[in-house]
Amino acid sequence: MKKVILVILFGLMLSASPSYAVGSNLLPVREVRIATREAKITQIQVNISEDLRNRAAKEITRRVSFLTELITQINGIKKLTTPQKTDLQTQIQNTDRWFKRFANKINADTDDVTLKVDVKSIVNNYISSYSLGKKLIYWWLLIEFR
């Protein structure tokens, strides 16, 4: 009788052991943590992409408005000849078209690395259009003060 009671008690202790209950719950908890972590990483990547696109759109808008203002200034200079005005306006309009095409390319980019490189190239192209504006001012000064 004692042996039977000991076997039953031992069987009850093994079946009610907390190690079995904990072991079966660990796998779903890990999967939930991994899924949560992956969701956070994905959301961070989406936020980075959206931020880059927003900054690029803002910078392109700023540069296009500068170019539009530059065309207005060219038209206001009376000492430039019509071919000179046309040449400068053509250069500015080409840059303006480039920025608009580039905005479409940035919106189509899916890779963060490519997106970052494209946003940096906005600055490089702006420097060339800014130097075009400086050339215009230099021309104006040469014509005005001759």
Concatenated DSSP letters of 56-107 = HHHHHHHHHHHHHHHHHHHHH-SSS-HHHHHHHHHHHHHHHHHHHHHHHHHH
Contact 55, 119 (CB under 8 A): yes
Q: Which pLDDT value is given to residue 11?
A: 66
Nearest to 112 by CA among 39, 60, 63, 42: 42
Catalogue the long-range contacts made by 7-10 (C-beta closer than 8 Å, 24 or more residues apart).
none
Q: Which of 13-22, 106-115, 137-146 has the lowest mean pLDDT?
A: 13-22
Whether 9 shows a pLDDT value over 70: the answer reads no
Overall pTM > 0.85: no
Q: What percent of the chain has pLDDT over 70?
A: 68
Q: Give residue for tokens 């999967």.
A: 31
Whether 49 shows a pLDDT value over 80: the answer reads yes
Whether 24 shows a pLDDT value over 60: the answer reads no
Contact 117, 111 (CB under 8 A): no
pLDDT of 102-131, one tens digit each? Answer: 888 888 887 888 888 888 887 776 666 566
In the chain, where the domains are located: 2-144
Whether 99 shows a pLDDT value over 80: the answer reads yes
User: Helix, strand, coil shares of the chain as percentages rounded to 5?
Assistant: 90, 0, 10
Q: Which pLDDT value is given to residue 20?
A: 44
pLDDT of 74-97, one tens digit each? Answer: 888 787 788 888 888 888 888 888
CA of residue 81 relative to chain centroid, distance: 42
d(CA 70, CA 92): 8
